[in-house]
Chain A
Amino acid sequence: MKQKWNWPIWVGLMIAVGGLFSYEFFVQFPVTRDFPWVNLLLFAAAGTFLAVGLVRAFGRPQLYHGKIFGSIFAVLSLCLFALFAYGVFYEVRQVPPSTSAPHVGQKAPEFTLPDQNDEPMALADLVSGAKAVVLIFYRGFW
């Protein structure tokens, strides 16, 4: 009997890879970054295809390839998912507690820092010229 191509296994792996690497794209939008539902859906889809492929390979080995490479791809995809999950559920939450940060009602600590044109800017000057100032501290290394 001629063996058929067990395409779900290949598609599953490709989607898992897509699930991981597409995060760089989806991370740009708060709606897909705050909770990475798109990437999780992709991994779920990958898992489904791999499961179908493995069921075929083990259930009907005369008809379908894939017992060995299917198992390898499945493990690989699980590793990709583990890497992803570690990054988006654990690593991003490793933030210092900042318990001594100034709180609401306190005066914002004064400072003077160079702006993008190397001109010194004092917080007091920025505050006095405006109704309000939004101070955004970000991680940097852009």
Chain B
Amino acid sequence: MAISVDPPGTNRRQRQKLGFTYTFLSDPKAEVIRRYDLLHAGAGQKGADIARPAEFLIDSTGTIRWLNLTENIAVRARPEQVLKAFDEMEQTAAR
């Protein structure tokens, strides 16, 4: 699921336009973003506070099993990386 400061209306529109099927959550005041210490103050349009990019893999107990905090906003986690982390998580559970 994706989280940003964009409002539900924007998420609904873009989700349809881009054909995504997963959930988009809206955090317009960046409250959850702050709780996760992912705030990038003033980096959005017109100086808005936004999230810095980050990806988390959370297991069924709510525990974080993998995360990616990019040092370069142009470089994000690739699907293969997330799938690999997921596979490793499953293997650990199987033991």
Chain A residues in 8 Å Cβ range of B53: 95, 137-139
CA distance A135 to B3 in the complex (A): 7
Flag if A123 contacts B62 (CB, 8 Å). Answer: yes
Task: Note all chain B residues with C-beta closer than 8 A to A100.
Answer: 37
Q: Are B55 and A137 in contact (CB under 8 A)?
A: yes
Chain B: interface residue total (CB-CB under 8 A): 62
How many of chain A's residues have a CB under 8 angstroms from any CB in B? 49
* Given A105-B63, A138-B3: A121 and B23 interface contact (C-beta under 8 Å): yes
Within B17-39, the residues touching A (CB, 8 Å) are: 23-27, 31-33, 35-39
Within 8 A of A (CB), among B51-95: 51-67, 69-76, 78, 82, 86, 89-90
B4 and A138 within 8 A (CB): yes
With a cutoff of 8 Å between Cβ atoms, the chain B residues found around residue A34 in the complex are 74-75
Task: Report whether B58 and A132 are in contact in the complex, using a CB–CB cutoff of 8 Å.
Answer: yes
Given contacts A101-B67, A117-B12, A132-B86, contact A139 B43 (CB under 8 A): yes
Given contacts A95-B71, A117-B12, A139-B51, contact A134 B56 (CB under 8 A): yes
Residues of B within 8 A of A (CB): 1-6, 8, 10-12, 14-15, 23-27, 31-33, 35-41, 43-45, 48, 50-67, 69-76, 78, 82, 86, 89-90
A residues whose Cβ falls under 8 Å from a Cβ of B: 27, 30, 33-34, 36, 88, 92-93, 95-96, 98-111, 113-118, 121, 123-124, 126-128, 130-142
